[in-house]
Amino acid sequence: QKEVEQNSGPLSVPEGAIASLNCTYSDRGSQSFFWYRQYSGKSPELIMFIYSNGDKEDGRFTAQLNKASQYVSLLIRDSQPSDSATYLCAGGRGSNTGKLIFGQGTTLQVKP
Amino acid sequence: GAGVSQSPSNKVTEKGKDVELRCDPISGHTALYWYRQSLGQGLEFLIYFQGNSAPDKSGLPSDRFSAERTGGSVSTLTIQRTQQEDSAVYLCASSSSNGPYEQYFGPGTRLTVT
């Protein structure tokens, strides 16, 4: 079992729709979670991080964390073709203690 | 401000040669991380520095891989006697020592071993 699991997709949504990206993790010691966006041939770009149970909103993005269910999600509202990319979920043990464990990523396609 | 920089952006080397990859973190970031991403693979942790010390080297795949950091800033990842399976994109990230510890990535070095 991988420590951080994501559905590889592709997830295809029409322009303007809500895209829902999901991630589960196995390490109950994980305290902090990060969503990165990676365009083809580019390095990962941080979109959001979340440490506490519940929702965290930033513009069109909402991250959700449920530690009891070991589940993290990212919602993208009003999806645009420019959102088409691979989205990486990562978990860490919190504080400045080092490595992040990444999922394999979900490919999102937003169709005009 | 300036982000994480890495050099070279691309490196092609022959099997058996040594290579050095360089990372310059965001100014003021005390933590530095090396990851690699192979075709079809996820991001794989290699090593973490806090200042000049490496508290976690658990991801280094073999003793052919080593890394150092000097002056709490620039880091070099060295791969000795390169093998074809070392071909990957090597990514460096840095983070602040004060919360919330999010890691910012450089553009990466694409290493091809022929």
pLDDT values of chain B reduced to their tens digit, one per residue, 114 residues:
589 999 999 999 999 999 999 999 999 899 999 999 998 778 999 999 999 999 889 999 999 999 999 998 999 999 999 999 999 999 999 998 766 678 999 999 999 999
Query: Best of A23, A43, A102 to disrupt the B interface by mutation (most B CBs within 10 Å)?
Result: A43
For residue A37, the chain B residue with the least C-alpha distance is B105
Residue A96 pLDDT greater than 70, yes or no: no
> What is the arithmetic mean of pLDDT over A14-31?
94
Beta strands in A1-112 (DSSP E): 4-5, 11-14, 19-25, 32-38, 45-50, 54-58, 61-66, 71-76, 85-92, 101-102, 106-111
* Backbone region of residue A47 per phi and psi (left: phi > 0; alpha: psi in -120 to 50; beta: other values): alpha
Structure tokens that stand for A52 in this block? 């506490």
Cα–Cα–Cα angle for B53, B8, A38, nearest 5°?
85
Alpha-carbon gap, residue A63 to B88, rounded angstroms: 30
User: What is the sign, positive or negative, of the torsion defined by CA atoms of B4, B9, B14, B17?
Assistant: negative
Residue A16 pLDDT greater than 60, yes or no: yes
Confidence grade of residue A95 (pLDDT, cut at 50, 70, 90): low
Question: For residue B55, is the peptide bond before it cis, meaning its omega torsion is within 30 degrees of 0?
Answer: no
CB spacing of B59 vs A42 below 8 angstroms: no
Given A49, A51, A104, which is nearest B42 (Cβ)? A104
CB spacing of B99 vs A95 below 8 angstroms: yes
Residues of chain B contacting A51 with CB distance shorter than 8 Å: 100
pLDDT given for residue B32 in this prediction? 94
Residue A103 pLDDT greater than 80, yes or no: yes
Alpha-carbon gap, residue A46 to A34, rounded angstroms: 7
User: Would you mind telling me the total number of residues written for chain A in this entry?
Assistant: 112
> What is the arithmetic mean of pLDDT over A47-63?
94
- Residue of B90, B42, B104 whose CA lies nearest to A6: B42
